[in-house]
Structure formats: structure tokens, C-alpha cells
Amino acid sequence: MEAKQFNISNHRLQSKDFLKLIDEAFMFFNQTPLCTLPPMQSFTGSGVYALYYSGDFQPYLEIAKTNKLNAGSRAVYVGKAVPRGWRQGRTVADEEGEELHSRLREHAKSIKHTPSLKLGDFTCRFMVMEGAQSDLIGTVEAALIRRYMPLWNSVVDGFGNHDPGKGRYEQARSEWDVLHKGRPWAERLRGVSPETKDILEKILSYSKAKRFSE
């Protein structure tokens, strides 16, 4: 093959249609109805979701105040649920699984485990993405996180973690599990965990930055 002069522009994707597609998904997502966490009725499919907090946990009061004034306006967490086999490129038909509803149930269970939060103070919204649309689940999730910068995605890590399993409890508890003690498997972790005061300082800095940007 004849050598050609390297030009990075020949490798850079530039698509207005792609950006329009993401914007369309974003606008539709923001118009979906708020639901209890988890939604009372089960449903099939995978997709993206956001959680909203409006309780009285002191470090989150600014988030709660915003959501009390305008319900569902400030996400505390954004996540995704992908079809089975998605990471290996082998997906099972959407109607065969309840990945998205199952993920929301998992989150509700995590919140119920900690005495510092009340499940009734949370709502959620979600968007089911079926067929070829499911290929964009990760892209839409990333776009939502960039747009909202939710606290539990960008500052306090660990909410979406799972039990690491037997023989893997030498690791440290996540920031979320330090701040919100209660998940049984997290209590078994023996590593050096973050200090509560450091986490609270990060939350304070985040709140100040959000207040300034708004």
C-alpha cells in the first residue's frame, strides 16, 4: 500500500445528524413522566434513567430544594440498563427481559438499606430504548451525565456498585457506602475507606460550583 501523508481530519467523525439524534433523545427523556422508585408496574426493555432526591439529608439540601420547587429538574444519579449479551455483541430480544425495571429495583433496595435516606424521597424517570436504539444506550447515558453532572456520578462514587463476591472483600468501601452505611455486602469490605469529612467537603465544593453555574 502506498504511503500517504497522515491527516487526522480523515479519521474524525463529524455528523450533524448524529448530534441531532442525541438531542432528540435528550428532549424526549426530559419529557417522560416522573415515577416512584421503583416504578410500581414492571415493564420490559432496557434504556437509561435518572433518579431525583427531595428529602432532608443535610448535605443534599440544595438538590432537594431544587426538586421541590421544580420536580425532576436536578438528577442525583443517571444510569443505564443494557440488554443481556450487549457487551459481547449478542443481544436477546428486548421483550424477554426487564433489565431497566430490575436495575431500578436494585437501586431502591440499596437506598432502603441505609438509615440516612428514605426511599419515599426519591423519584425517577426513564426511557426505554429498543431494537437498534439500544446501541445508543451508553452514548445517551454519557450525554445525560455531561449535561446534568449528577452528584452520585460526578462527585460521590459507588452508588451503582455491586457485591464484589466471596474472596474480594479486601477492597475499600466506596464514598457512597461511607456516607450511606447499610448495604450488607459493603459492611464486609476491609480496605482503607475514604474519610467522611473529605466526602462532605467535595459535596460542598460541588454545591457551590453548581450554584455559581446556575
pLDDT tens for 151-191 read 999 999 999 999 999 889 999 999 999 999 999 999 999 99
Question: Which has the closest alpha carbon to 55: 46, 45, 43, 63?
Answer: 63
Per-residue model confidence (pLDDT) at position 210? 79
What is the C-alpha to C-alpha distance for residues 203 and 214, in angstroms, rounded to an integer?
Answer: 16
CA distance 180 to 194: 12
User: Which residues are CB-contacts of 47 (< 8 A; sequence separation ≥ 6)?
Assistant: 80, 81, 100, 126, 127, 128, 129, 134, 137
- Is 175 within the bounds of a domain? yes
> How many separate domains does the chain show?
1
Has residue 64 been placed in a domain?
A: yes
pLDDT of residue 95: 47
Of 114, 123, 118, 132, the closest CA to residue 46 belongs to 132
**CATH number for 144:** 3.40.1440.10
Burial class of residue 57 (count of CB atoms within 10 Å of its CB; 0-12, 13-18, 19+): middle
Q: Are 44 and 97 in contact (CB under 8 A)?
A: yes
Q: Are 116 and 196 spatial neighbours (Cβ–Cβ below 8 Å)? A: no
Beta-sheet strand order (sheet of 75-81): 35-36, 122-128, 47-53, 75-81
Residue 150 CA to residue 147 CA, distance in Å, equals 9
Domain span holding position 80: 28-213
> Within a domain: residue 156?
yes
The amino acid that residue 29 corresponds to is F
Flag whether 4 is in a domain: no
E strand or H helix that includes residue 20: helix 16-31
| Rounded-to-integer distance, Cα 183 and Cα 191, Å | 16
Residues 61-97: tens digit of each pLDDT: 999 999 999 999 999 999 999 997 655 555 555 446 8
pLDDT (tens digit per residue) in 131-153? 889 999 999 999 999 999 999 99
Residue 5 covered by a domain: no
Evaluate whether residue 171 is within a structural domain.
yes
Coil, strand, or helix at residue 36? strand
Given pLDDT bands bounded at 50, 70 and 90, which one contains residue 213? low
Q: Report which secondary-structure segment, H or E, holds 63.
A: helix 61-69
181 in a structural domain: yes
Cell triple for residue 136? 445508543
User: Is 94 a member of any domain?
Assistant: yes
* CA pair distance 35, 122, nearest whole angstrom: 9
